[in-house]
Amino acid sequence: SQQGEEDPQALSIQEGENATMNCSYKTSINNLQWYRQNSGRGLVHLILIRSNEREKHSGRLRVTLDTSKKSSSLLITASRAADTASYFCATDTSGYSTLTFGKGTMLLVSP
């Protein structure tokens, strides 16, 4: 069965608001990655967080990882209409870039 489960399945917010997406997984991981997918396009890598890290930042993105709860969250601050996309978490259990993806969260940011 799939490793990652994102929550919520869909999220609708206004521009300027923050968006938080959660990911839960089942087995021990080496690292966890977040990807964005715009409609009709491929996935784009956002952030990789190792199992021994608790938080990572990249621009307006903040990722946390709680290995005791087997969960991660992605926070997008001050969202923009261009952030509208699906967001996926992916777990790497081996450390050799073999990823298992969740079903994703669809984010809609309205102007």
Alpha-carbon distance of 61 to 90, in angstroms, equals: 16
CB-nearer residue toward other proteins: 104 or 109: 104
CB-nearer residue toward other proteins: 31 or 84: 31
Closest distance to other proteins from the beta carbon of 39 (Å): 11
Which of 105, 63, 64 lies closest to 84, judged by CA?
Answer: 105
Which of 84, 17, 91 lies closest to 48, judged by CA?
Answer: 91
Q: Does 88 bind other proteins (CB under 8 A)?
A: yes
Closest distance to other proteins from the beta carbon of 65 (Å): 14
Among 7, 22, 26, 48, binds other proteins (CB under 8 A): 48
Q: What is the 3-state secondary structure (H, E, C) of 44-83?
A: EEEEEEECCCCEEEECCEEEEEECCCCEEEEEECCCCHHH
CB-nearer residue toward other proteins: 10 or 78: 10
CB-nearer residue toward other proteins: 27 or 111: 27
Closest distance to other proteins from the beta carbon of 16 (Å): 27
